[in-house]
Every structure is written in structure tokens, then in C-alpha cells.
Amino acid sequence: MKTKEAPDPIKKLFPSVTEKEWADWHWHVKNRITTPEQVKQLIKLEESEIYDCKGNKLPLSFSMTPFYASLITENKVLRKAVVPTSHEMVMSAGEEGDPLDEDKFRPVNNIIHRYPDKCLLLATDFCSLRCRYCTRSRLVSENMNSHFPQEKIVEAIEYIKRTPVIRDVLISGGDPLTLSDSKLEFILSNLRKIPHVQIIRIGTKVPVVLPQRVTPALVKMLKKYHPLWINIHFMHPAEVSPECEVACNMLADAGIPLGSQTVLLKGINDKTETMMKMFNALVRNRVRPYYIYQCDPIPGSKHFRTSIKTGLKIMEGLIGQTSGFAVPTYVVDTSKGGKVPLLPNFVKKIEKNYIHLEGFTKETTKYPTIED
């Protein structure tokens, strides 16, 4: 990535940071911001924003990259997703550590296999930033370099090898792009040797929180393992930074189809215009919006969750109003039925020879149908 100086608020925290360090993803991982004192130097805290990370009081520890910290100093909304608040201490009805009952579908430790022909491989338990609403917060660990022991990865690959129904492997975690090139290549190359594995995908937030990680060397390595797809977790239009755009374009230039996944979050992205701005920015960068997720009921998540009605209203505000491929699918992930897509109700009435459909103009068309 082209070197660029760290912005001023960051230099207050890291006075000696050089351009070279700012451009180096290892520096960002090593210098993650994890204490209240550091954050206080960056932004003025609100009363609900608390940090008792050490006393194990928070359901999830606090961590963000200096790069993401530079974004939160510029946009007030983004901090809601990373800075712990007292609301996290409040447990509400229906909240569970494993709300999707995923632990029932783990034939070996590092595989979640709940759909017929695809599975999730947990490649690492490390993320460079802790999203407060993380659906797999129970699986995210504290320390870098703790990444899973090699035997666990080998065990996961062996499971896929002996399970020929699997044609799609989703490498997730944690954030797989925080692994070294060689550790990631070990996984990709071994999966590629399995004849029934047709596609490989990676789920990551790295282009957003650690865009420096997308190096020419990484991209060159990834390219060897096509067809490879990457899905990136985006939450807000302000996350589409110039650095993130460079990272996405490098990946897209390597022929990797990019998708986005977004969690619907109260007060952060629960407005049609916010979502549309983000999706339009994404398609400009060749990232195809894939899913909007209803926020899962993990412990202490009530302040993040919206009603389903809010999600449906956003979908209604997108469909027909912008490019079709800038509109993702709105899904609710369920413990028994997996992801369930939801759409606003466009069908107003069904008659014997007609269906009444209401489109984006809000006008109803009486459309002729026939019996099969």
C-alpha cells in the first residue's frame, strides 16, 4: 500500500509512528488499542462508554486497530460498533452465547457443518478488531499468535477430505486474513487438493479495519487458488475509506469476486439512506452487496437490535430505487432453519386469473396469471 502518514489524532497516541510503520499491518496488529486511557486520548467519551476490559466484566474484550481508530475520530457513528458500553452488561430475553446452536454442528472442533453442501472452517480465533455485536464472540480469543494449533486445522481439512458432499468451503473465524501468508496458503493449497471442493470463500473484515494487510504478496498468493470468493463485513459507508478502496480494488483486480455482509444495527445503519450510500459505494468498488443480517441475539446485544419491520422497510427503500445488484438479501439466521430470507410483501391479492402486485412506485398492477 502506498505510504501515507498517520493522521494527527493517532500521532498523539503514537508520536514516533513512521510512514513505513503506518503502512505495515503487523504494526497495526501489534499496536492495537485495548485500554480506556488510549481511547480517552482519541475521543471524548460518553457516559455509557465504559471499559472494564481487564476485570472480565464485559462479555467481549475491547480491541481495535490504530487504522480503525483513525476512522472513529472522524465519524461519530463508527465508535458504537467498537467502543464497549454499559448496555452490554444488560442481558435480555432470548439472548444466548450460541444463538444459532452452531456448537451442535461441529463434527470436529474447527468445522461448522450445518448446510448440505457447504461448511465453515474456523481458521483462527483472532480478529484485529472486536465488533461489539459479533455473532461468534464466544469463539473470539484475546491474543494474537494464539491462532489455532496446526493439528486442529489439519483435523478440519481431513474432515472436509472425507466428506464428499462438501463443494463449498467458507474460511472464517476470527478473521482468516490475520493469518500469515504461509498459514493461509497451507489451508488454501490443501483445500484445493480436494477434488470435491469446488469453491473456496473467505469471510473477513480486514479490508476495512486493516487494509494494509492486502499486500501484493497476499493477492498474488490468493490468485493461485481460484475460484476464490471473498466476503467482507461492512457496517457503515464511512468504513469505505480510500485505503479500503485500494485494498478492494487489488483483490478485485486479482479476479476475486467480492461480496459484502452487513449486520443491521440500531442507530448505526438502520436507515435506508445509510444503507444505500454504503451499497452504492461498495458497487463502485466492485463489491456486490450480499447479505444484510438481522443482528443475532448474543448476550448484551439488545441496544444493537432492531425490529424485523425496520429491516423490511430498508429493503422496501432499496428495491427498485437503486441498481438491482446494489441490493443485498435480508436474512434472519435461525437456530433450526439456518438463514431465512425476508422480503417486504409485494403481493397484495391472489385471484384465480390475476395476482395484484405492488412495485416500487407503490402502484398496484393487476397481473394476469394462469393455472399450471
- Kindly list the residues in this chain that would bind ligand PLP in the complex (CB under 6 A): 112, 114-115, 118, 120, 170, 339
Choose among 287, 27, 63, 26: nearest CA to 181: 26
Q: How far is the CB of 66 from ligand PLP (least distance, A)?
A: 30
Q: Closer CB to ligand PLP, residue 112 or residue 240?
A: 112
Query: And the C-alpha cell for 6?
Result: 498517520
CA 289/CA 286 separation, integer angstroms? 9
Q: How far is the CB of 275 from ligand PLP (least distance, A)?
A: 19
Residue 180 has a CB neighbour count (10 Å cut-off) of 11
Q: How far is the CB of 293 from ligand PLP (least distance, A)?
A: 9
Q: How far is the CB of 287 from ligand PLP (least distance, A)?
A: 15
By the 8 A CB rule, do 290 and 231 touch?
A: yes
Choose among 333, 355, 338: nearest CA to 346: 355
Q: How far is the CB of 117 from ligand PLP (least distance, A)?
A: 9
Q: Closer CB to ligand PLP, residue 114 or residue 138?
A: 114
Q: Closer CB to ligand PLP, residue 277 or residue 339?
A: 339
R_g of the chain computed on alpha carbons:
21
Q: How far is the CB of 325 from ligand PLP (least distance, A)?
A: 16
Q: Closer CB to ligand PLP, residue 101 or residue 273?
A: 101
Residues 6+ apart with CB under 8 A from 146: 125, 126
CA 211/CA 239 separation, integer angstroms? 11
By the 8 A CB rule, do 211 and 243 touch?
A: yes
The amino acid at residue 206 is: V
The amino acid at residue 361 is: T
Residues 6+ apart with CB under 8 A from 256: 222, 223, 226, 228, 229, 230
Q: How far is the CB of 120 from ligand PLP (least distance, A)?
A: 4
Q: Closer CB to ligand PLP, residue 115 or residue 346?
A: 115
Residues 6+ apart with CB under 8 A from 44: none
Q: Closer CB to ligand PLP, residue 28 or residue 113?
A: 113
Q: Closer CB to ligand PLP, residue 23 or residue 170?
A: 170
